[in-house]
Amino acid sequence: MERMRRGLAIVEFFAVEDEIQKLRSQKYGITLTYEKLKEEGKIKMSYKTFYGHLKKYEKENEEKKQLQKKEKKKPLKREQASSKMVFENAPDKQKRHF
C-alpha cells in the first residue's frame, strides 16, 4: 500500500467531517465509522491516523462546549446587575431613571 502525502489525511478527515458527526451521533463506534468511510472510498488514511484525528477533533469540540457552558453561567457584572431601569424613549424625549 502506498503512503499518503504528508498532511493529506487531515484534509480527508475534514472533507467527511459532517458524515463523521452524523455517524457518531447515531452511536456508531470509531471502528465502524472508519470501516464505513473506508469501504465507501471516502478516506484512504490508516485506522491509526483516523483514530488520532477523531480523538483530537472530539476533544476540541468538548472543550468548546464546556467553554460555552461556563460563559452562560457567568454572573452579570456590577453595572449590568444594577436595579435602575432606564427608559430612553420616554414621551418627553428625556431619559428617565427609576
Q: What pLDDT sits at residue 66?
A: 87
In the chain, what are the domain boundaries?
1-98
Q: What pLDDT sits at residue 98?
A: 47
Q: What angle do CA 37, 11, 67 make, to 5 degrees?
A: 95
pTM of the full structure: 0.66
| Structure-block grid coordinates of residue 35 | 470501516
Q: What is the mean pLDDT of each run of 10 residues along the chain (98 residues)?
A: 84 95 95 97 95 94 86 65 55 54
Q: Which residues pair with 65 in a beta bridge?
A: none
Q: What pLDDT sits at residue 54?
A: 96
Q: Give alpha helix (H) positions in 27-95.
A: 30-39, 47-73
